Amino acid sequence: MESPGKPSGQIPTSRDSNLPSNATPTQLPSPVTDNDTDQDVEMTQPTVEATPADENTASVWVDSVKEGVKQLKKLLSMTKKRPDHAPKLTKEEMQSYIRNMRVYLLWLQHEVEPKPEFKQKLGLDKVLALYLPPNFPETLDRMAPDLSILAKEVLNKYEAEEWGKGFTDHEEEEGLEADDLGSAVATSRQSPDPRSSAHTEVIQLPPVPHPIWGLEGIMHGVARKTTKTGRVVPCLDTRYRNEKRDAKVFGHNNHKPGAWWPYQMTALFHGAHGSPQHGITGHAKLGAYSVVVSATSVYRDLNEDKGTELWYSADKSTENTNPVKAETSPATRSLEMSLKNGKPVRVLRKAGNTSDARRNPIYPTVGIRYDGLYKVVAQGFDTNKNNGVYKKFKLERLPDSENDGRSWEDVQKYPTREQRQHFDKIKDGY
Protein backbone atom coordinates (compact mmCIF):
# COMPACT_ATOMS: atom_id res chain seq x y z
CA MET A 1 0.00 0.00 0.00
CA GLU A 2 1.33 3.45 -0.85
CA SER A 3 2.17 5.53 2.18
CA PRO A 4 -0.35 8.32 2.78
CA GLY A 5 2.54 10.66 3.47
CA LYS A 6 4.43 10.09 0.21
CA PRO A 7 5.44 13.32 -1.55
CA SER A 8 3.47 14.36 -4.60
CA GLY A 9 6.37 13.97 -7.00
CA GLN A 10 5.44 17.05 -8.99
CA ILE A 11 7.89 18.52 -11.46
CA PRO A 12 9.81 21.50 -10.03
CA THR A 13 8.34 24.88 -10.79
CA SER A 14 10.27 27.87 -12.07
CA ARG A 15 12.22 29.87 -9.52
CA ASP A 16 10.75 33.14 -10.67
CA SER A 17 8.03 34.68 -8.57
CA ASN A 18 5.24 34.52 -11.19
CA LEU A 19 4.36 38.13 -10.44
CA PRO A 20 1.63 39.75 -12.54
CA SER A 21 2.66 42.53 -14.89
CA ASN A 22 -0.56 44.52 -14.52
CA ALA A 23 -0.05 46.06 -11.07
CA THR A 24 -1.93 49.35 -11.03
CA PRO A 25 -0.47 52.62 -9.67
CA THR A 26 -1.90 53.86 -6.38
CA GLN A 27 -1.90 57.34 -4.77
CA LEU A 28 0.29 56.95 -1.68
CA PRO A 29 1.86 58.94 1.18
CA SER A 30 5.17 60.78 0.86
CA PRO A 31 8.41 58.80 1.19
CA VAL A 32 9.87 57.93 4.58
CA THR A 33 13.08 59.75 5.51
CA ASP A 34 15.93 58.52 7.66
CA ASN A 35 18.63 61.15 8.08
CA ASP A 36 21.03 58.69 9.65
CA THR A 37 21.22 56.63 6.47
CA ASP A 38 20.73 59.15 3.66
CA GLN A 39 23.29 58.49 0.96
CA ASP A 40 23.72 59.47 -2.67
CA VAL A 41 24.41 56.89 -5.35
CA GLU A 42 24.10 56.64 -9.08
CA MET A 43 22.04 53.61 -10.06
CA THR A 44 22.08 52.63 -13.69
CA GLN A 45 22.79 48.93 -13.34
CA PRO A 46 20.24 46.28 -14.35
CA THR A 47 18.07 44.43 -11.86
CA VAL A 48 19.93 42.10 -9.52
CA GLU A 49 18.68 38.53 -9.17
CA ALA A 50 16.99 37.61 -5.90
CA THR A 51 19.00 34.42 -5.68
CA PRO A 52 22.60 33.76 -6.64
CA ALA A 53 23.25 32.74 -10.23
CA ASP A 54 24.25 29.30 -9.01
CA GLU A 55 21.20 27.04 -9.44
CA ASN A 56 22.25 25.06 -6.37
CA THR A 57 21.97 27.98 -3.96
CA ALA A 58 19.37 30.49 -2.80
CA SER A 59 19.23 33.48 -0.47
CA VAL A 60 16.85 33.21 2.50
CA TRP A 61 15.86 35.84 5.06
CA VAL A 62 17.07 34.93 8.56
CA ASP A 63 16.11 38.12 10.42
CA SER A 64 12.81 39.51 11.73
CA VAL A 65 9.91 41.27 10.03
CA LYS A 66 10.76 44.37 12.07
CA GLU A 67 14.35 44.47 10.84
CA GLY A 68 13.18 44.07 7.27
CA VAL A 69 10.95 47.14 7.63
CA LYS A 70 13.99 49.12 8.81
CA GLN A 71 16.01 47.93 5.83
CA LEU A 72 13.23 48.88 3.38
CA LYS A 73 13.31 52.41 4.84
CA LYS A 74 17.08 52.56 4.57
CA LEU A 75 17.01 51.56 0.91
CA LEU A 76 14.53 54.33 0.17
CA SER A 77 16.63 56.90 2.01
CA MET A 78 19.71 55.92 0.02
CA THR A 79 18.09 57.15 -3.17
CA LYS A 80 17.77 60.73 -1.89
CA LYS A 81 20.14 63.46 -3.08
CA ARG A 82 22.77 64.43 -0.55
CA PRO A 83 25.36 67.22 -0.40
CA ASP A 84 28.50 66.60 -2.41
CA HIS A 85 30.53 66.04 0.75
CA ALA A 86 28.24 63.22 1.94
CA PRO A 87 29.65 59.68 1.64
CA LYS A 88 28.43 57.66 -1.30
CA LEU A 89 27.65 53.99 -1.55
CA THR A 90 29.28 51.90 -4.24
CA LYS A 91 27.10 50.15 -6.80
CA GLU A 92 28.07 46.83 -5.21
CA GLU A 93 26.84 48.00 -1.81
CA MET A 94 23.57 49.23 -3.29
CA GLN A 95 23.08 45.98 -5.18
CA SER A 96 23.61 44.07 -1.95
CA TYR A 97 20.82 46.10 -0.27
CA ILE A 98 18.55 45.45 -3.25
CA ARG A 99 19.22 41.72 -3.15
CA ASN A 100 18.43 41.62 0.56
CA MET A 101 15.16 43.49 0.13
CA ARG A 102 14.12 41.24 -2.73
CA VAL A 103 14.72 38.21 -0.51
CA TYR A 104 12.79 39.88 2.31
CA LEU A 105 9.77 40.70 0.15
CA LEU A 106 9.65 37.17 -1.28
CA TRP A 107 9.85 35.83 2.27
CA LEU A 108 6.91 38.01 3.31
CA GLN A 109 4.92 36.94 0.27
CA HIS A 110 5.43 33.19 0.54
CA GLU A 111 6.34 32.30 4.11
CA VAL A 112 4.98 34.89 6.56
CA GLU A 113 1.36 35.04 7.66
CA PRO A 114 0.13 38.62 8.20
CA LYS A 115 -0.40 39.90 11.72
CA PRO A 116 -2.20 43.06 12.85
CA GLU A 117 0.97 44.29 14.57
CA PHE A 118 2.79 44.45 11.22
CA LYS A 119 0.46 47.29 10.29
CA GLN A 120 -0.35 48.78 13.67
CA LYS A 121 3.13 48.76 15.26
CA LEU A 122 5.62 48.39 12.42
CA GLY A 123 3.84 50.43 9.75
CA LEU A 124 4.63 47.83 7.11
CA ASP A 125 1.65 48.91 5.02
CA LYS A 126 2.95 52.48 4.73
CA VAL A 127 6.48 51.38 3.92
CA LEU A 128 5.30 48.96 1.21
CA ALA A 129 3.13 51.73 -0.21
CA LEU A 130 6.23 53.86 -0.72
CA TYR A 131 7.54 51.25 -3.17
CA LEU A 132 4.54 51.75 -5.47
CA PRO A 133 4.01 54.38 -8.18
CA PRO A 134 4.01 57.33 -8.09
CA ASN A 135 6.29 57.36 -5.01
CA PHE A 136 8.73 54.64 -6.08
CA PRO A 137 12.05 56.46 -6.59
CA GLU A 138 13.19 56.76 -10.20
CA THR A 139 16.67 55.55 -9.35
CA LEU A 140 15.30 52.34 -7.81
CA ASP A 141 12.87 51.97 -10.69
CA ARG A 142 15.81 51.93 -13.10
CA MET A 143 17.85 49.48 -11.10
CA ALA A 144 15.25 47.18 -9.52
CA PRO A 145 11.74 47.74 -10.92
CA ASP A 146 10.63 44.34 -9.66
CA LEU A 147 10.82 45.56 -6.05
CA SER A 148 7.74 47.68 -6.76
CA ILE A 149 5.86 44.67 -8.13
CA LEU A 150 6.86 42.51 -5.17
CA ALA A 151 5.79 45.21 -2.72
CA LYS A 152 2.40 45.43 -4.46
CA GLU A 153 1.97 41.65 -4.27
CA VAL A 154 2.73 41.57 -0.53
CA LEU A 155 0.45 44.54 0.13
CA ASN A 156 -2.40 42.97 -1.86
CA LYS A 157 -2.02 39.65 -0.04
CA TYR A 158 -1.94 41.15 3.45
CA GLU A 159 -4.83 43.53 2.78
CA ALA A 160 -6.93 40.68 1.33
CA GLU A 161 -6.40 38.83 4.62
CA GLU A 162 -7.13 41.99 6.65
CA TRP A 163 -3.62 41.87 8.08
CA GLY A 164 -4.39 38.67 9.95
CA LYS A 165 -7.40 40.06 11.80
CA GLY A 166 -9.20 37.13 13.39
CA PHE A 167 -6.57 34.56 12.43
CA THR A 168 -4.76 32.69 15.17
CA ASP A 169 -1.99 34.83 16.63
CA HIS A 170 1.01 32.57 16.66
CA GLU A 171 2.87 34.73 19.16
CA GLU A 172 0.21 33.82 21.70
CA GLU A 173 0.71 30.12 21.20
CA GLU A 174 3.60 28.40 22.90
CA GLY A 175 4.64 24.96 23.96
CA LEU A 176 5.47 23.08 20.76
CA GLU A 177 9.08 22.22 20.05
CA ALA A 178 10.79 23.94 17.12
CA ASP A 179 12.12 21.69 14.38
CA ASP A 180 15.85 21.27 14.90
CA LEU A 181 18.33 19.50 12.62
CA GLY A 182 21.27 19.90 15.00
CA SER A 183 24.21 22.27 15.22
CA ALA A 184 25.76 23.88 12.16
CA VAL A 185 29.14 22.41 13.04
CA ALA A 186 27.72 18.91 13.12
CA THR A 187 25.61 19.06 9.98
CA SER A 188 27.05 21.62 7.55
CA ARG A 189 29.26 20.36 4.77
CA GLN A 190 30.37 23.79 3.54
CA SER A 191 31.66 27.05 4.99
CA PRO A 192 29.31 30.05 5.19
CA ASP A 193 28.80 31.59 1.76
CA PRO A 194 30.54 34.98 1.45
CA ARG A 195 27.42 36.31 -0.30
CA SER A 196 25.46 35.96 2.95
CA SER A 197 24.78 39.08 5.04
CA ALA A 198 23.68 40.01 8.54
CA HIS A 199 20.07 39.52 7.44
CA THR A 200 20.24 36.82 4.77
CA GLU A 201 21.95 33.49 4.32
CA VAL A 202 22.95 31.91 1.04
CA ILE A 203 22.05 28.26 1.48
CA GLN A 204 22.76 25.15 -0.51
CA LEU A 205 19.62 23.70 -2.11
CA PRO A 206 18.99 19.95 -2.12
CA PRO A 207 19.90 18.10 -5.32
CA VAL A 208 16.73 17.14 -7.21
CA PRO A 209 17.58 13.39 -7.25
CA HIS A 210 18.56 13.23 -3.57
CA PRO A 211 16.77 10.22 -1.99
CA ILE A 212 15.79 12.11 1.18
CA TRP A 213 15.81 15.83 0.31
CA GLY A 214 15.07 15.57 -3.41
CA LEU A 215 11.95 15.60 -5.51
CA GLU A 216 10.79 12.13 -4.43
CA GLY A 217 12.16 12.29 -0.88
CA ILE A 218 10.37 12.82 2.42
CA MET A 219 11.93 16.30 2.78
CA HIS A 220 10.82 17.56 -0.65
CA GLY A 221 9.94 21.24 -0.55
CA VAL A 222 12.28 21.98 2.34
CA ALA A 223 15.92 23.03 2.63
CA ARG A 224 18.24 23.86 5.55
CA LYS A 225 19.31 27.19 7.01
CA THR A 226 21.40 28.16 10.02
CA THR A 227 19.92 30.38 12.73
CA LYS A 228 21.84 33.13 14.49
CA THR A 229 22.32 30.74 17.41
CA GLY A 230 24.10 28.24 15.19
CA ARG A 231 21.31 25.69 14.93
CA VAL A 232 20.30 24.16 11.60
CA VAL A 233 16.55 24.28 10.98
CA PRO A 234 14.32 23.45 8.02
CA CYS A 235 13.10 26.24 5.75
CA LEU A 236 11.01 26.26 2.58
CA ASP A 237 12.92 25.52 -0.63
CA THR A 238 12.56 28.63 -2.77
CA ARG A 239 12.27 26.57 -5.96
CA TYR A 240 8.98 25.01 -4.89
CA ARG A 241 7.13 27.99 -3.41
CA ASN A 242 4.33 27.60 -5.93
CA GLU A 243 3.77 23.99 -4.83
CA LYS A 244 3.09 24.95 -1.22
CA ARG A 245 -0.50 24.04 -0.37
CA ASP A 246 -2.73 26.47 1.53
CA ALA A 247 -3.56 25.08 4.98
CA LYS A 248 -6.49 27.46 5.57
CA VAL A 249 -8.94 24.87 4.33
CA PHE A 250 -11.52 22.80 6.21
CA GLY A 251 -11.49 19.05 5.72
CA HIS A 252 -8.76 16.64 4.68
CA ASN A 253 -7.18 19.10 2.23
CA ASN A 254 -6.30 16.21 -0.06
CA HIS A 255 -4.57 14.18 2.67
CA LYS A 256 -5.47 10.73 3.90
CA PRO A 257 -5.43 9.94 7.62
CA GLY A 258 -2.11 8.32 8.35
CA ALA A 259 -0.19 10.74 6.15
CA TRP A 260 3.18 11.33 7.78
CA TRP A 261 5.90 13.96 7.52
CA PRO A 262 9.28 14.16 9.23
CA TYR A 263 8.88 17.71 10.54
CA GLN A 264 6.17 20.30 11.10
CA MET A 265 7.77 22.43 8.36
CA THR A 266 7.11 19.67 5.83
CA ALA A 267 3.52 19.37 7.08
CA LEU A 268 3.26 23.12 6.48
CA PHE A 269 4.57 22.76 2.92
CA HIS A 270 1.94 20.11 2.17
CA GLY A 271 -0.88 22.16 3.71
CA ALA A 272 -1.69 19.82 6.58
CA HIS A 273 -1.08 22.56 9.16
CA GLY A 274 -0.54 26.30 8.77
CA SER A 275 2.35 26.98 11.14
CA PRO A 276 5.91 25.61 11.29
CA GLN A 277 5.87 25.53 15.09
CA HIS A 278 2.60 26.52 16.77
CA GLY A 279 -0.37 24.40 17.66
CA ILE A 280 -3.53 25.96 16.20
CA THR A 281 -4.35 27.19 12.71
CA GLY A 282 -7.74 28.85 12.41
CA HIS A 283 -9.86 31.98 12.28
CA ALA A 284 -11.92 33.38 15.14
CA LYS A 285 -14.99 33.87 12.92
CA LEU A 286 -14.64 30.70 10.83
CA GLY A 287 -13.24 28.03 13.12
CA ALA A 288 -10.07 25.97 13.54
CA TYR A 289 -8.62 24.29 10.47
CA SER A 290 -6.11 22.11 12.31
CA VAL A 291 -4.42 21.50 15.64
CA VAL A 292 -1.14 19.80 16.52
CA VAL A 293 -0.78 17.79 19.71
CA SER A 294 2.80 17.05 20.78
CA ALA A 295 3.74 14.09 22.94
CA THR A 296 6.18 16.16 24.99
CA SER A 297 4.95 19.77 24.87
CA VAL A 298 4.37 21.86 27.98
CA TYR A 299 0.64 21.20 27.53
CA ARG A 300 0.86 17.45 27.93
CA ASP A 301 -0.05 17.58 31.62
CA LEU A 302 -3.19 19.55 30.70
CA ASN A 303 -4.25 17.64 27.60
CA GLU A 304 -6.07 14.33 27.96
CA ASP A 305 -5.41 12.26 24.87
CA LYS A 306 -7.04 8.88 24.31
CA GLY A 307 -6.62 8.81 20.55
CA THR A 308 -10.18 8.92 19.29
CA GLU A 309 -11.07 11.34 22.08
CA LEU A 310 -8.99 14.36 23.04
CA TRP A 311 -9.28 17.17 25.57
CA TYR A 312 -7.18 19.96 24.04
CA SER A 313 -6.11 22.87 26.25
CA ALA A 314 -6.24 26.42 24.89
CA ASP A 315 -3.10 28.47 24.37
CA LYS A 316 -1.60 30.20 27.45
CA SER A 317 -3.18 27.49 29.59
CA THR A 318 0.03 26.75 31.47
CA GLU A 319 0.82 30.40 32.25
CA ASN A 320 -2.42 31.89 33.54
CA THR A 321 -2.46 32.70 37.25
CA ASN A 322 -5.94 34.20 37.40
CA PRO A 323 -8.20 31.79 39.32
CA VAL A 324 -11.45 33.14 37.84
CA LYS A 325 -10.70 34.40 34.32
CA ALA A 326 -9.24 32.24 31.55
CA GLU A 327 -6.94 33.67 28.90
CA THR A 328 -8.41 34.04 25.41
CA SER A 329 -7.05 34.72 21.94
CA PRO A 330 -8.00 34.27 18.27
CA ALA A 331 -6.67 30.71 18.56
CA THR A 332 -9.02 29.94 21.45
CA ARG A 333 -11.92 31.68 19.73
CA SER A 334 -11.37 29.61 16.60
CA LEU A 335 -11.97 26.43 18.64
CA GLU A 336 -15.04 28.02 20.22
CA MET A 337 -16.34 28.77 16.73
CA SER A 338 -15.70 25.16 15.68
CA LEU A 339 -17.84 24.07 18.61
CA LYS A 340 -20.63 26.34 17.34
CA ASN A 341 -20.53 25.60 13.63
CA GLY A 342 -19.54 21.93 13.80
CA LYS A 343 -16.87 22.17 11.09
CA PRO A 344 -14.29 19.37 11.30
CA VAL A 345 -10.75 19.97 12.51
CA ARG A 346 -7.64 18.19 11.27
CA VAL A 347 -5.74 16.67 14.19
CA LEU A 348 -2.02 16.01 13.83
CA ARG A 349 0.12 14.30 16.45
CA LYS A 350 3.80 15.06 16.84
CA ALA A 351 6.47 12.78 18.30
CA GLY A 352 8.24 15.50 20.27
CA ASN A 353 11.25 14.43 22.32
CA THR A 354 11.48 10.71 21.60
CA SER A 355 13.84 10.11 24.56
CA ASP A 356 11.21 11.24 27.07
CA ALA A 357 10.08 8.24 29.11
CA ARG A 358 6.66 9.82 29.68
CA ARG A 359 5.74 9.80 25.99
CA ASN A 360 2.28 8.43 25.25
CA PRO A 361 2.62 5.42 22.90
CA ILE A 362 -0.31 6.60 20.76
CA TYR A 363 1.96 9.27 19.26
CA PRO A 364 4.16 8.62 16.22
CA THR A 365 7.62 7.31 17.01
CA VAL A 366 9.18 10.13 14.96
CA GLY A 367 7.86 13.05 12.93
CA ILE A 368 4.31 14.32 12.68
CA ARG A 369 1.23 12.36 11.56
CA TYR A 370 -2.21 13.34 10.34
CA ASP A 371 -4.69 11.31 12.39
CA GLY A 372 -7.91 12.38 10.69
CA LEU A 373 -10.86 14.72 11.08
CA TYR A 374 -12.25 15.44 14.55
CA LYS A 375 -15.22 17.43 15.76
CA VAL A 376 -15.20 19.84 18.70
CA VAL A 377 -18.08 18.60 20.85
CA ALA A 378 -17.62 20.33 24.22
CA GLN A 379 -15.85 23.09 26.09
CA GLY A 380 -14.79 22.98 29.71
CA PHE A 381 -12.65 24.72 32.31
CA ASP A 382 -9.86 23.42 34.52
CA THR A 383 -7.11 24.74 36.79
CA ASN A 384 -3.36 24.55 36.19
CA LYS A 385 -0.59 24.17 38.77
CA ASN A 386 -0.55 27.96 39.24
CA ASN A 387 -4.22 27.81 40.26
CA GLY A 388 -5.03 29.65 37.04
CA VAL A 389 -8.20 28.71 35.17
CA TYR A 390 -7.95 27.69 31.52
CA LYS A 391 -10.27 26.60 28.75
CA LYS A 392 -10.16 23.16 27.21
CA PHE A 393 -12.01 21.61 24.30
CA LYS A 394 -13.16 18.06 23.74
CA LEU A 395 -12.55 16.71 20.23
CA GLU A 396 -13.90 13.37 19.01
CA ARG A 397 -12.70 11.56 15.92
CA LEU A 398 -15.28 11.37 13.15
CA PRO A 399 -16.47 7.93 11.98
CA ASP A 400 -14.13 5.98 9.69
CA SER A 401 -16.55 6.63 6.82
CA GLU A 402 -15.71 10.35 7.08
CA ASN A 403 -12.00 9.60 7.45
CA ASP A 404 -11.46 7.95 4.07
CA GLY A 405 -12.22 4.56 5.60
CA ARG A 406 -9.16 4.77 7.82
CA SER A 407 -9.61 3.63 11.40
CA TRP A 408 -7.67 4.85 14.41
CA GLU A 409 -5.81 1.54 14.37
CA ASP A 410 -4.88 2.10 10.71
CA VAL A 411 -3.24 5.48 11.27
CA GLN A 412 -1.13 4.15 14.13
CA LYS A 413 0.77 2.00 11.63
CA TYR A 414 2.59 5.13 10.52
CA PRO A 415 5.39 5.98 10.24
CA THR A 416 6.41 2.77 8.55
CA ARG A 417 9.77 1.12 9.07
CA GLU A 418 10.99 2.58 5.78
CA GLN A 419 9.84 6.08 6.76
CA ARG A 420 11.68 5.79 10.08
CA GLN A 421 14.84 4.68 8.27
CA HIS A 422 14.61 7.67 5.93
CA PHE A 423 14.02 9.96 8.92
CA ASP A 424 17.29 8.77 10.49
CA LYS A 425 19.16 9.99 7.39
CA ILE A 426 17.80 13.54 7.41
CA LYS A 427 20.47 14.99 9.66
CA ASP A 428 23.16 13.68 7.29
CA GLY A 429 22.18 16.62 5.09
CA TYR A 430 22.79 16.74 1.34
Higher local confidence (pLDDT), 326 or 372: 372
Contact 297, 173 (CB under 8 A): no
Q: Is 40 helix (H, G, I), strand (E, B) or coil?
A: strand
Contact 298, 382 (CB under 8 A): no
Render pLDDT for 214-269 as a digit per residue (tens, 0 to 9).
999 999 999 998 777 778 888 899 899 889 999 999 999 999 999 999 999 999 99
Question: How many other CB atoms sit within 10 Å of the CB of residue 123?
Answer: 14
Specify the pLDDT at position 361. 82
Question: How many other CB atoms sit within 10 Å of the CB of residue 149?
Answer: 19
Give Cα separations from 422 to 242, 352, 367, 407, 416 (angstroms): 25, 18, 11, 25, 10
Q: How many CA atoms lie within 13 A of 51 on its CB side?
A: 19
Amino acid at 234: P
Specify the pLDDT at position 79. 81
Q: Is 21 helix (H, G, I), strand (E, B) or coil?
A: coil
Amino acid at 2: E
Render pLDDT for 3-47 as a digit per residue (tens, 0 to 9).
554 443 332 333 333 323 333 332 323 333 333 333 333 333 333
Contact 415, 423 (CB under 8 A): yes
Specify the pLDDT at position 316. 73
Specify the pLDDT at position 196. 64
Residue 375 CA to residue 340 CA, distance in Å, equals 11
Which ranges constitute the DSSP H helices of 270-364?
Answer: 330-341
Where does residue 189 rank: exposed (0-12), middle (13-18), buried (19+ CB within 10 A)? exposed
| pLDDT surpassing 60 at residue 413 | yes
Work out the percent of the chain whose per-residue pLDDT is above 70: 77
Residue 10 CA to residue 216 CA, distance in Å, equals 9
Mean pLDDT across 94-99: 89
Cα 258–168–63 angle (5° rounding)? 95
The band of 424, judged by pLDDT with boundaries at 50, 70 and 90, is: very high
Where does residue 396 rank: exposed (0-12), middle (13-18), buried (19+ CB within 10 A)? middle
What does the DSSP 8-state code read for residue 59?
E
Specify the pLDDT at position 87. 65
Specify the pLDDT at position 195. 61
Specify the pLDDT at position 381. 92
What does the DSSP 8-state code read for residue 392?
E
Specify the pLDDT at position 193. 53
Higher local confidence (pLDDT), 16 or 88: 88
Residue 70 CA to residue 158 CA, distance in Å, equals 19
Render pLDDT for 364-401 as a digit per residue (tens, 0 to 9).
999 999 999 999 999 999 888 888 888 999 999 999 99
Mean pLDDT across 402-430: 95
Residue 295 CA to residue 425 CA, distance in Å, equals 22
Contact 335, 314 (CB under 8 A): yes
Higher local confidence (pLDDT), 145 or 51: 145
| pLDDT surpassing 50 at residue 53 | no
Contact 72, 104 (CB under 8 A): yes
Specify the pLDDT at position 45. 35
Specify the pLDDT at position 387. 85
Is the preceding omega at residue 415 within 30 degrees of 0, hence cis? yes
Short-list 334, 313, 338, 333, CA closest to 389: 313
Considering the chain, what is the average pLDDT of its residues? 80
Euclidean distance between the first and the last CA atom of the chain, given in angstroms as a whole number: 28
Mean pLDDT across 395-423: 97
